[in-house]
Structures are given as C-alpha cells and as structure tokens.
Amino acid sequence: MYITDPIYGPISIQDRYIFQLIDTKAFQRLACIKQQGHIVAIHFSKGNGKKS
C-alpha cells in the first residue's frame, strides 16, 4: 500500500498491522480534526488536520 504525502511523496506501507491501524475508523476520523481551532473559520484554505 502506498500513501501520498504532500511533503515526502509516496510512502510505502509494508507492515500489515500498520495498514490495519490506518484502516480503522478512529484513525480515519483524524482527517476531520483541525489543529488550529477556530482559525479555520477565518482562513478556509488552511489544511492542517491531524492527518496532514
């Protein structure tokens, strides 16, 4: 499995336990969590989620 990172490029995931961890609902919810709090309401272009 490959994950494309905007800074590091494609990252290969070889360990099946890490793949299973990434595939969980708890890990997928990290995409919706913002690190900057309410600043997102002002600057919509900030893509600084926990998975970023």
pLDDT at 52 over 70: no
Residues 7-32 have a mean pLDDT of 89
Average pLDDT, the chain: 77
Task: In whole angstroms, give the CA distance from residue 6 to residue 52.
Answer: 8
What is the distance between the alpha carbons of residues 24 and 45, in angstroms, rounded to a whole number?
Answer: 27
DSSP secondary structure letters along the chain = -EEEETTTEEEE---HHHHHHHTSHHHHGGGG-BSSTTHHHH-TT---BTT-
Whether the CB-CB separation of 51 and 30 falls below 8 Å is answered with yes
pLDDT at 7 over 80: yes
**Please, which pLDDT band fits residue 50 given cuts at 50, 70 and 90?**
low
pTM: 0.49
Mean pLDDT of 13-20: 90
